[in-house]
A and B are shown apart, each in its own frame.
Chain A
Amino acid sequence: MIALTAPLALFDPLRHAVGDDLFYWAVSPAIKILVLVFLGILPVITYLVLAERKILGFIQARVGPNRVGPWGLLQPIADVMKLLVKEDTLPIQAVKWAFILAPCLVVAPALIIFAVIPMGPRAAGGKLAWYVTDVNTGVLVVLALATIGVYGLIIGGWSSNNKFSLMGGLRSAAQMISYEVPQGLALVGPLMLAGTLSLVGIVEAQAKAGWWYLFPQLVAFFIYLVAGVAESNRNPFDLPEAESELVAGFHTEYSGMRFALFFLGEYANMIVISAVATTVFLGGWLPPFPHLLPFLHVVPGIIWFFLKVVVFLFAYIWFRGTFPRYRFDQLMDLGWKWMIPLALLNIFATGLIKLLLAHHP
């Protein structure tokens, strides 16, 4: 922990210059956001794409990218360069302002969510922490911001003035609204156990309880996982862009950097959902079995956090390599007829057990 926080000492002169209050209130969050987005999220996303291609290659008995740099390690950089310099076409029939607005609506909320995700604990005794901010309604912020993303898909699909895009937009609207419900309900169980909506608070509650909420909330965990895959429009729920049915769905007409923003948004959403699952169900930055294996505390919390997120991301890619695609109506069936009742049942059971334990300690 100390080794990783040491670079923060570099900012000491700045802290002295502006004064402690201003530094902790404004300067340090700004630095964190810059570092988080440009040194954290964006590189992780670009290399996530490479990892996906490599892992899919492994699953599908082929090599994957291996031409740009050793083992294809520079491939993401080449891809980003290509997307940046590609022509950015704007269809004549498109509704201009909406067409331009849509990709921003997808990518911005996905990046903002990272502000409330705790990637590590508050540094021992210090005022600095491994998160930008700790909102006391953190879970609600995550759910609310994730909801905004769907507008990007609908507006993008509608404004392209293409029938396939429109269908993709409609599908994504129906799908994301249906799956936000079980996703939110799945989070209620752990919230009841933790007694707080703050994501930092949830991790601390898990530390205090001595176990991850994965174990008492196994049902909620699986509902969250499935709803999360559907929410981020990934296989087997990638209906909005189902390339064999709708050509490319809502982003059929997009090219160049605007397409890249949709792409970025999708991967950012994957990471967000993995990070929230890690925080709520897998104990965030906590090492596994803290009481049984105390020596694991040597590894800094952010590493644990990162490893847990990677497990989820691997599962995403694994699903993509394994499953066919659901049909639109079957997807709705699954969401409304199975997952929502199951999530409600889980809340009821959690409440009942909590009540019984309270009365008979």
Chain B
Amino acid sequence: MSQPIVDPRTLPDDDRLFAPEEEMELNFGPQHPSTHGVLRLKLKVDGERILDCYPIIGYLHRGTEKLFELHPFFQNVPHTDRMDYVAAATNNLAYVGAVEKLVGLVVPPRARYIRTILAELQRISSHLLWLATHAIDIGAMTPFFYCFRERELILDLFEQYCGARLTLNCMRPGGLPHDLPVGWTDRCRTFCEAFPPRVDEYEGLLTDNRIWKKRTVGIGVLAPEVAIDYGITGPMLRGSGIDWDLRKVAPYEAYGEVEFDVPLGKNGDTYDRYLVRMEEMRQANRIVLQCLEKLPEGPVMAKRPRVLKSAKESEVYHGIEGPKGEIGFYIVGDGTPQPYRCHVRAPSFINLQVVPEMSKGALIADLVAIVGTTDIVLGEVDR
């Protein structure tokens, strides 16, 4: 039933809607309801069919990587909040992990478990936001409100832990700023027990919906080889059937001590990526419950010097499995309390590069689905 993806430029002239000289150039964004921020896509269209697509980025560039060089290691955590602003906890985790490797700090077990809980809750909330916007892009309005209902509960949990809902700043090199407040684990467990039926509810609205399937099956197909060539990570890669999850491949924090499955897609289309992310939410929920069960006692901060200093000419890369893919920090130290250079491997930026590849020959309505399924956050793309 789905539209075969063909490059219309290869079609004979009779099959084209307009003569080649009547191609239209269309600016899709930066102010457009479904470009998820300030992405600008310069399109060349033949009627509604996309001939070419050039993503233009930089509208949200704030020079974050330069800012990293100006502040001591522990003051840089808030900058990471503002990159992928819907998944602050995983950004924090990747950054503090890199600093810990650079300086050589060992994190106490309780802190590792709490970090895992926070990161997985963040994964759920990020995927909920993705589902909400993806569904509304395709025209289904109601899942948006259902997803935000549950996301609020997660944000409440974050607020009870660190006082912030979005820009969390909830981790420090060496551990956590403070222990969990009294009763937090119970509230978190209540949420985790109530959550799986809610996922079933979203799936009930979408998974077997004929229109939803028509709009997603066979749309934006990403072949496994192409995905690897572009360096795609995260659910985008797993949707194409490649089993690569840093939580399994190179376990960090408490991931080596919990059980979870890595869902994989088959066809690499928008529908498969949807299914992968839905299952990831369930698995994340499972990880949180296990961590709550096993949560050890003890301190949440390592013994560390008041001022963290890197060794001269040291460098480190630390990547973790964020909600959108591998988020990694490459930090070069020069013996001062500040990083000499800090580069971010931002999954949104790298995943965005494949959008032109996926959208060539598709219709404008498909482009919206493709941008949605890529799950980009422009704060991270532009940094």
Contacts and interface: CB of A to CB of B under 8 A. Distances in A.
Contacts of A82: none
A244 B368 contact: yes
A239 to B, nearest CB: 8
A61 B149 contact: yes
A43 B227 CA distance: 56
Interface stretch (A184-192, A305-313, A324-332, A350-358): A324-332
A244 B365 CA distance: 8
Interface of A: 56, 59-62, 163-164, 167, 235-236, 238-239, 242-247, 320-330
A327 B24 contact: no
A266 to B, nearest CB: 16
Given A167-B48, A326-B214, 11 more contacts: A236-B211, A243-B33, A246-B364, A320-B141, A321-B141, A321-B142, A323-B211, A325-B138, A328-B365, A329-B3, A330-B214
Contacts of A328: 48, 363, 365
Contacts of A163: 24, 26
B149 A322 contact: no
A244 B139 contact: yes
Contacts of A235: 139, 141
A164 B29 CA distance: 11
B244 interface: no
Contacts of B212: 324
A324 B211 CA distance: 6
A255 B364 CA distance: 25
A238 B139 contact: yes
Contacts of A239: 365
Interface residues of B, number: 31
A52 to B, nearest CB: 12
Contacts of B138: 244, 324-325
B3 A245 contact: no
B365 A242 contact: yes
B184 interface: no
Given A60-B145, A61-B146, A327 B363 contact: yes
B50 to A, nearest CB: 12
Interface string B121-148: 0000000000000011111111011100
Nearest to B371: A244
Contact of B215 (A62, A167, A247, A325): A325
B164 interface: no
26 contacts: A59-B142, A60-B142, A60-B144, A61-B145, A61-B149, A62-B145, A235-B141, A239-B365, A242-B365, A244-B136, A244-B137, A244-B138, A245-B34, A245-B364, A245-B365, A245-B368, A322-B205, A323-B209, A324-B138, A324-B139, A325-B139, A326-B139, A326-B215, A327-B215, A327-B366, A329-B363
Contacts of B364: 167, 245-246
B32 interface: yes
Interface in B7-65: 24, 26, 32-34, 48
Contacts of A320: 141
A361 to B, nearest CB: 43
B209 A244 contact: no
The binding surface of chain B is classed by DSSP as helix
Contact of A324 (B24, B34, B140, B366): B140
A325 B211 contact: yes
Contacts of A167: 48, 364
B8 to A, nearest CB: 13
B33 A247 contact: yes
Contacts of B368: 244-245
A40 to B, nearest CB: 30
Nearest to A167: B48
Contacts of B363: 327-329
Contacts, number: 81
Nearest to A333: B1
Interface in B190-216: 205-206, 209, 211-212, 214-215
Nearest to A323: B211
A243 B139 CA distance: 8
Contacts of A245: 34, 364-365, 368
Nearest to B133: A244
Across the A-B interface, the 9 shortest Cβ-Cβ residue pairs: A325-B139, A60-B145, A324-B140, A244-B34, A324-B139, A244-B137, A324-B138, A327-B365, A324-B211
Contacts of B33: 243-244, 247
A326 B142 CA distance: 16
B365 A247 contact: no
Listed residue (B144, B149, B211) with the most chain A CB atoms within 10 angstroms of its CB: B211
B32 A247 contact: yes
A330 to B, nearest CB: 5
A73 B229 CA distance: 58
B154 to A, nearest CB: 16
Contacts of A61: 145-146, 149
Contacts of A329: 3, 363
A358 to B, nearest CB: 40
A49 to B, nearest CB: 16
A162 B48 CA distance: 15
A239 B48 CA distance: 12
Interface in B147-170: 149
A326 B214 CA distance: 8
Residue among B3, B139, B145 with the most chain A CB within 10 A?
B139
A246 B236 CA distance: 26
Nearest to B365: A327
B52 to A, nearest CB: 16
B217 to A, nearest CB: 12
B213 to A, nearest CB: 10
A318 to B, nearest CB: 11
Nearest to B206: A324
A164 B31 CA distance: 13
Q: Which of A61, A242, A327 has the most CB of B within 10 A?
A: A327
A237 B136 CA distance: 14
A163 B32 CA distance: 13
A326 B369 CA distance: 12
A320 B140 CA distance: 8
A64 B363 CA distance: 34
